[in-house]
Amino acid sequence: MIPVPNGAGRSLGKAMLLLACALLHLHTFAAPDAAPYSPDSARRVELIRLVRQDCGSCHGLTLKGGLGPALLPETLRDKPAESLVATIMGGRPGTPMPPWNRFVNAQEAAWIVDNLQKGFPGER
């Protein structure tokens, strides 16, 4: 057993938890043999409506910006997808951006990010 100074055990435990989460996150999003997630047609309609209406209430109904920044391909292409997924899932503390993890899962958030970076589909 390796001796650790008083109080360091708690920090070490947090570091190990963060490492485990990071490894799980990498496995979830970087599995090369996994097919990209594609929601079924009914869920796809729901996700498009969620982005266009709910996200659009702050980011603009055309996603060109408002209270929140623009969610257009030219503003998101150079952003790491994992970071954008984390923002959708966990929000941005200290800003009006809420977490959406009650409404979408990580695969759906990744699908949203992928489509935002390409050009988000319109509602039909």
Which residue in the block uniquely carries the two structure tokens 């923002």?
A: 87
Residues 88/80, Cβ–Cβ less than 8 Å: no
pLDDT (average), residues 47-54: 97
Check residue 123 and give its pLDDT.
72
Amino acid identity of residue 7, one-letter, is G
Burial (CB count within 10 angstroms: exposed 0-12, middle 13-18, buried 19+), residue 122: exposed
pTM equals 0.72
Whether the predicted pLDDT of 115 surpasses 50:
yes
Residues 82/99, Cβ–Cβ less than 8 Å: no
